[in-house]
Amino acid sequence: MSKELIKGNIAIAKAALKAGLKAYFGYPITPQTDIGEYLSYEMPKRNLAYVCAESEIGAINMALGAATSGEKVMVSSSSCAVSLMQEALSYACSDELPLVLVNVMRAGPGQGYIYPSQGDYNQAVTGGGNGDYQVVVLSPSTLPEACDLTQRAFYISQKYKIPTMLLVDGLLGQMAEPVEISESKYPEIDNSSWILDGAKGRASREIHSLEPSQYKLNQHIVSLFKKYKEIEQNECDWEEYMMDDAEILVTSFGTMARYAKSVVKDLRQNGIKIGLFRPKTLFPFPSKRLGELSLKVKHIIDIEMNMGQMLKDVRLSVLNNAVVSFIGKPVGDWLKREEMKSAINNIIKESYASI
Amino acid sequence: MQVFSIPKSIKENSRFTFCPGCDHGVAIRLVAETLDKLNLRENTIAVASSGCSVFLYNFLDVDCVESPHGRACAVATGIKRVNKAVGKDKFVFTYQGDGDFASIGLGESLHSALRGENITAICINNTNYGMTGGQMGPTSTMGQVTTTSPMGRNREYHGFPIKTAEHIALCDGTVFSARVALYDYKNIINAKNVIEKAFMAQSKNKGFSFVEILSSCPTNWKLTPKQAHDKIENELIKTYPLGIFKDTTNE
Amino acid sequence: MNKNFIISGSGGQGVISIGGILANIFMLNDFFVSFCSCYGAEMRGGAVNCEINMSDEELFCIENEEVDYVVALNQTSFDKFISRVRENGTIIVNSSLAKINKTRDNIKYIFAPLTDIAVKLGNIKMTNSVALGVLAGLLGNFNVEKVKMAYENVLKNKKELVKKNIDAYLLGYNYIQEG
């Protein structure tokens, strides 16, 4: 295997193919269209399922149907169009169907534009559709990680029978970095106990979210949340950087975390004891670990390309253990390093002044 | 004399829970009989939709998935395609109401027909939204009184009903499109033959096949079962003529 | 070591191609590298630029306010990106299409008639490779085999094109080496 310099979108598509993708459904929207374009050539070449759907609603519902086969199924889209998919995601959660949704984010609300923004955090981690449910949300920061998390998304979605979203910044989808697309390191899941493949030699199976019995519906949702707890225990993932003696902790996710990391590195050289905590799983959010860390630091600074969405999860993890501040902007050029540095310095100055 | 038994494709001990006089039960039975006849039961994946047709999986003894409202043809597309990709040729059909197929799901339905998806769609047309209590649907006829067209469907407020089977017949990907009714024995037999033709079209890998079934909804039409069937025979088929609008299965 | 680059021009000048080739050269020399491209809504003729970062350590920051090298293939790019050159950084300007004009005294200017050199070689489309050669000449000697591999990665083994482009690259390289 050799490294290749490819765009994030293509890397994700290639990683999905390597993981054993059998069906892809999509509809064009910038900045994720390369995924569908690339697969429109690669999937038919391998006699795999590919539909350029009539809409995002069509695409996600095709995925919903395909997921009943237990095969690896993927859909990709972006922000405002992911909104159109929320209904089917809610169904897929209740139906407990595994599918992978790649959301290469653009700015909103509404149509917004293709500028950088991390404005879909809330939609991704709090469900987005109707009812009491969660989808797993993975957040890569580099392209090698995007490839790994793409393959992990298939694994998690199949292991726990849950839709899994890869929440990707537009920049990560469009930029290129050297990656090595390898076979998935995650084990294959045996789906034979629940898939729909014709009731031959066994009782027929039904997959549905409709449940007229309130008792059963209650039980069903409670069991879903038991599953979410299990996912939290087993699959929470994060990165810690320069945390050993940190007094100030920066929290950030996705591409923003890369920039924040470089700022942390610079500030360390100025003698500031600062570190970075980056969740790789946004749901389940690594609350427990962040809670532990918050007991060791004085101040937590959350940096996001939005008006403070992950901030709520940070606050819920930290409670009153440390002061939490926020640096962010909703859309446009990424926060510049100098901007972040001076904002961090101001926060430090102010908080020490108040002590 | 012919003795009728419960088709194999109907679940043991199941009792239809539709309103008295509703044609859903007859339609599902015809589907089940056809699955039996063509020996498809063990290779079938059915797609139920929203509305009264969602209960399909309570009665049919085949693998079944429910789809979000209107999306049955998209869900069926995904099932058919992914199975083909892994070398499995599954028999896939949808069972939808007219609101599901021709209103909220018209996009998915029409594009599945245009793509020539090798699936079959059965659409129960009872000219209203039955499960929610009889609102005006895409197929409610001109002058039809519903809970949302209390003065009768009119051009000014509501526009015109859709002739679904004729529209689907226009799609190049459609191989078979027909409309049938269930108001008497003769029509029931005919409906079964038509459903068989539609299923055969899929079995021969020909493309999209479609059957629209004019069905009674006595509860919401506020008629007795007999009156409801008379209404189909005397009135509805004027708006919705019965027949096969396209059949290129043997071309 | 950490260096960053902006290459800019108009659509059709091959900006993204040589950006990708430069990034590939760094990759093949085992550096960490990132490559971001940016273009306007116009499919052809609009402004195009890309940014390449290389380092011997893991790259965190992939977009920079200031860069070490700017390559400007036309006047618009020259005007737009002159302010983005870091102090003591270098700008390479295609003097065939941009006026020689030095507005800053804390950076190094290289004015080279890139388009004229490409035309002399017989193909105006090779302007980008001449530019890459000039840049390579400033950075030091890259292994030509790796440069060739980088071209093959981007041009997908269009052998004839690779050879012509390497010729153009070498012309640019020699132009700067010979002063």
B-chain CB neighbours of A200 within 8 Å are 42-43
Question: CA of C166 to nearest chain A CA: how many angstroms apart?
Answer: 20
H-only helix segments in chain B: 24-37, 56-59, 72-85, 98-99, 106-115, 155-158, 164-169, 185-203, 218-221, 225-231, 237-239
**CATH for C2-177?**
3.40.920.10
Tell me how far apart the alpha carbons of residues C67 and C60 are, in angstroms, rounded to a whole number: 15
At residue C30, the pLDDT reads 94
CB pairs under 8 A between A and B: 146
CA dist C36 and C44 (Å) reads 19
Residues A72 and A184 in one domain: yes
A29 pLDDT band, cuts 50/70/90, is very high
Q: Which two tokens stand for residue A345?
A: 């310095």
With beta carbons under 8 A apart, name residues in chain A contacting B62: 198-199, 204
The number of beta carbons lying within 10 Å of the beta carbon of residue B134 is: 21
Q: What is the pLDDT of residue C11?
A: 87
**How many domains is chain B partitioned into structurally?**
1
Tell me the shortest Cα–Cα distance from B10 to chain A, in angstroms.
11
In a domain, B8, yes or no: no
Residue in chain A closest to C32 (alpha carbons) equals A178
The 10s digit of each residue's pLDDT in A164-175 is: 999 999 999 999
Q: How many whole angstroms separate alpha carbon B40 and alpha carbon A36?
A: 34
Closest CA to C47 of C70, C21, C74, C67: C74
Q: Mind telling me how many Å the CA of A149 is from chain B's nearest CA? A: 23
A245 pLDDT band (50/70/90 cuts)? very high
CA distances from A89 to A55, A136, A139, A225 (A): 15, 11, 18, 16
Q: Please check whether residue A332 is in contact with residue A116, taking contact to mean a CB–CB distance below 8 angstroms.
A: yes
pLDDT band at A351 (very low <50, low <70, confident <90, very high): confident
The answer on A286 and A221 residing in a single domain is: no
A74 and A160: one domain?
yes
Q: What is the ipTM of this complex?
A: 0.95
Residue A301 domain-assigned (yes or no) = yes
Q: Do B66 and A95 touch (CB under 8 A)?
A: yes
Do A218 and A263 lie in one domain? The reply is no
pLDDT tens per residue, range C150-162? 999 999 878 889 9
How far apart are alpha carbons C48 and C44 in whole angstroms?
Answer: 9
Contact A3 C61 (CB under 8 A): no
Compare CB distances from C33 to A174, A178, A336 and report the shortest one's residue.
A178
Count of all residues that appear for chain A in the document = 355
Disruptive mutation site among A2, A3, A5 for chain C (greatest number of C CBs within 10 Å): A5
Judge whether A198 lies within some domain.
no
Point out the residue among C33, C61, C153 whose CB comes nearest to the CB of A177: C33
Percent of chain C surpassing pLDDT 90: 82
Chain A to chain C Cβ contacts (< 8 Å) = 47
Q: Quick check: C60 pLDDT over 70?
A: yes
pLDDT of residue A31: 92
Task: State the Cα–Cα distance between residues C171 and B64, nearest whole angstrom.
Answer: 68
Name the pLDDT band for C43 (thresholds 50, 70, 90): low
- Residue A290, domain member (yes or no): yes
Please say which residue of A180, A215, A235 terminates a domain.
Answer: A235
Q: What are the per-10-residue average pLDDT scores of chain B (251 residues)?
A: 87 90 96 98 97 94 97 98 98 98 98 98 97 96 97 97 98 98 97 98 98 97 97 97 97 89
> Residue A47: which region, alpha, beta or left (left: phi > 0; alpha: psi -120 to 50)?
left
CB-nearest partner of A265 from C32, C34, C60: C60
Report yes or no on A223 lying in a domain: yes
* A262 assigned to some structural domain: yes
Domain assignment present for A29: yes
Residues A134 and A277 in one domain: no
- Residue from A143, A171, A177 whose CB has the most chain C CBs within 10 Å, to mutate: A177
* Nearest-CB residue to A49 (from B44, B85, B90): B85
Is residue B197 domain-resident?
A: yes
Interface test with A, best of C18, C43, C62 (most A CBs within 10 A): C62
CA–CA dist C125, C18 (Å, integer): 12
Query: Using an 8 Å Cβ cutoff, are A280 and A238 in contact?
Result: yes
Task: Judge: A4–C153 Cβ closer than 8 Å, yes or no.
Answer: yes
How much is the average pLDDT of C18-45? 86
Per-residue pLDDT of A73-127, as tens digits, reads 999 999 999 999 999 999 999 999 999 999 999 999 999 988 889 999 999 999 8
Nearest to B77 among A62, A199, A207 (CB): A62
Alpha-carbon separation of residue A54 from A22, A218, B105, C47 (angstroms): 20, 36, 12, 33
Burial-class residue C149 by CB neighbours within 10 Å (0-12, 13-18, 19+): middle
Does residue A199 form part of some domain?
A: no
Q: Do A49 and B115 touch (CB under 8 A)?
A: no
Sort strands A323-328 and A299-304 into parallel, antiparallel or unpaired: parallel
Residues of B in contact with A199 (CB under 8 A): 41-42, 44, 61-63
Determine the distance in angstroms separating the CA of A178 from the nearest CA of chain C, rounded to an integer.
7
Test B74 with A204 for CB contact under 8 angstroms: no
Evaluate whether residue B11 is within a structural domain: no
In a domain, B10, yes or no: no
Residue C40's pLDDT is 62
- DSSP-assigned letter for residue B87: T
Query: How large is the angle between the packed helices C159-177 and C127-139, nearest 10 degrees?
Result: 50
CA angle C3, C4, C10 (to 5 degrees): 150
Pairwise CB contact (< 8 Å): A58 & B111: yes
- In 3D space, the residue among C50, C56, C138 whose CA is nearest the CA of residue C90 turns out to be C138
> d(Cα B104, Cα B100) in Å, to the nearest integer?
6
**Residue A355 confidence (pLDDT):** 46
What average pLDDT does the segment A317-329 reach? 95
User: Are residues A10 and A61 part of one domain?
Assistant: yes
Shared domain check, A307 and A228: no
Same domain, A333 and A228: no
Distance separating alpha carbons of residues B49 and B51, to the nearest angstrom: 7
Residue B245 sits at φ, ψ, to 5 deg, of: -95, -20
Instruction: Tell me the nearest-neighbour CA distance from A120 into chain B, angstroms.
Output: 23
Cβ contact, residue pair B74, A205, below 8 Å: no
Q: How far apart are CA A222 and CA B48, in angstroms?
A: 25
In whole angstroms, what is the distance from residue C126 CA to residue C98 CA? 17
- Please give the Cα distance from B250 to B93 (Å, whole number): 20
Tally of structural domains, chain A: 2
User: Looking at the structure, do residues A267 and A219 belong to the same domain, yes or no?
Assistant: no
Half-sphere exposure (Cβ direction) of A160: Cα atoms closer than 13 Å: 27
Report the DSSP beta bridge partners of residue A104: A168
Could you give the CA distance from residue A321 to residue A330 in angstroms, rounded to a whole number? 27
CATH number at residue B155: 3.40.50.970
Q: What is the CATH number of the domain that holds A337?
A: 3.40.50.920
Paired residues of A101 in beta bridges: A75, A165
Task: Report CB contact under 8 Å: A175, C23.
Answer: no
Do the Cβ atoms of A200 and B42 come within 8 Å? yes
Q: In this structure, which amino acid lies at residue A150?
A: T
> Helices then strands (H, E): number in chain C?
6, 6
Q: What b-and-e string marks burial along C104-142, b requiring 16 or more CB atoms within 10 Å of the CB?
A: eeebebbbbbbbbbbeebeeeebbbbbbbbbbbbebeeb
Measured in angstroms, the CA of A202 and the nearest CA of chain B are apart by 9
What tokens appear for C79 in the block? 């005007």
Q: Which residues of chain B are at the A interface, by a Cβ-Cβ cutoff of 8 Å?
A: 11, 41-45, 47-48, 54, 57, 60-68, 71, 74-79, 81-86, 88, 90-91, 107-108, 111, 115
**Minimal-distance CA residue of chain A relative to B52:** A210
Tokens 């598509």 correspond to: A13
- How far apart are alpha carbons A45 and A66 in whole angstroms? 19
What percentage of chain A has pLDDT greater than the value 70? 99
pLDDT of residue C156: 86
Share of chain A above pLDDT 90, in %: 92
Q: Is B156 exposed, middle or buried (0-12, 13-18, 19+ CB in 10 A)?
A: exposed
Mean pLDDT for A45-56 is 98
Q: Do C60 and A261 touch (CB under 8 A)?
A: yes
Domain spans, chain C: 2-177
Domain span at A301? 238-354
Mean pLDDT of chain A: 96
Domain that holds residue B135: 24-247
Strand partners, A25: A51, A75
> How many angstroms separate the Cα of B192 from the Cα of each of A233, A269, B30, B37, B95?
54, 80, 6, 11, 15
- Decide if A176 and C62 are in contact by the 8 Å CB cutoff: no
> Do both A180 and A46 map to the same domain?
yes
Q: Where are the alpha helices (DSSP H) in chain A?
A: 8-18, 33-45, 56-67, 79-83, 86-95, 121-125, 143-160, 170-174, 214-235, 254-269, 287-294, 310-318, 337-354
Please give the pLDDT value at position A353: 58
Nearest CA in chain A to B48: A208
Residue B14's pLDDT is 86
